[in-house]
Amino acid sequence: MVEKSKASKRGRIACSMTVRLGSITLDNPVIPASGTFGYGYEFAELYNINCLGSLSFKGTTREARFGNELPRIAECTGGLINSIGLQNPGVQRVVEEELPRLRACFQKPIIANICGFSVEEYAENSAVFDQEEQVAILEINVSCPNVHHGGMTFGTDPKMAAEVTRAVKKVTTKPVYIKLSPNVTDIVEIARACEDAGADGISLINTMLGMRIDLKSRKPVVANKMGGFSGSAVFPVALRMVYQVYEAVSIPVIGMGGVASARDVLEMMLAGASAVQVGAANLADPFICQKIISSLPEEMERYRINSLEEIIGGAH
């Protein structure tokens, strides 16, 4: 167990920030979300990223992708809209070039975020990452709203989400977490379908579908017209969905969506998250994950929390 201590006027108390995702133990629950932290080594130039619980690196497809046309970003109240379109160098280059760079500066287990445009592609990419020792969890992204004929197409249909889950489970011995889209009528139904198909955990939520219109041109701001809305404004929605899914499944949940503070982390865990990912906040403040981890002991003391694991699902 990794113990953190915090001095206070009332004396010293010991608090444990250690959490578990199935059989995997993390020093703390804070994980940068895929797509907002690159491949990790970029942030290692700013601070020692080994303070993180883990990290989910950039979403990976079979072939290299340049992504969507520009412009791809639109600012909005309480967040932003992105339409990056899964830009990445392809699975082989990630394994051969990006992961060795990450290993040089990060010694903890990592999460591979896997994307695809067919069930077969999800399985092929998963089989490649199954061979990577540092990869501890496969996070299967069936929820990206920024690409056509893939991503969210699989995440809005329980049968298709289950089909992807089964295909991936056949080619890997690593834990499989399915990353779900909030752009659905009943997220509980999809989470249950994934669990029934063998998923080891659920990640939620990915971005919501949103848009902005430029008043001068009278046209959508982003070239793709719509994109993924993320940031602090979506936190209440994400919290509600984590709460619902925690009640519906018996597998671990990784919560995300608008998390930007240690208090947000505690709320997510009370709703049922075993670990918490930080997304858009990294784009506004590259040090935000470090700051959240540093302030967690103080917030734990403030609310008389001795162990983070003890509060998981505590709001139920």
- The domains located in the chain, with CATH, are 28-248 (3.20.20.70)
pLDDT attached to residue 6: 40
Kindly report the average pLDDT of the chain as a whole number: 93
pLDDT of 154 over the 90 cut: no
Residue 153: other Cβ atoms inside 10 A: 17
Chain centroid to CA 59: 10
> Tens digit of pLDDT for each residue in 182-210?
999 999 999 999 999 999 999 999 999 99
Lowest mean pLDDT among 2-6, 142-146, 261-265: 2-6
Spatial CA neighbour of 166 closest among 132, 196, 211, 135: 196
pLDDT of 108 over the 90 cut: yes
Distance, in Å, from the CA atom of 27 to the CA atom of 50, rounded to the nearest integer, reads 10
Encoded tokens for 266: 């505690």
- In the annotation, is 144 catalytic? yes
What band does 307 get if pLDDT is binned at 50, 70 and 90? very high
pLDDT of 148 over the 60 cut: no
> Tens digit of pLDDT for each residue in 15-48?
899 999 999 999 999 999 999 999 999 999 999 9
Q: Which of these is catalytic: 15, 115, 144, 289?
A: 144
pLDDT attached to residue 144: 67
Q: Can you give the pTM of this predicted structure?
A: 0.93
Alpha helix (H) residue ranges in the chain:
41-44, 91-93, 99-103, 119-130, 152-155, 158-169, 187-196, 235-248, 262-271, 281-284, 288-302
Q: What is the secondary structure of 4-18 as a DSSP string?
A: EEEEETTEEEEEE--
pLDDT attached to residue 3: 44
Q: Are strands 24-26 and 19-21 parallel, antiparallel or unpaired?
A: antiparallel
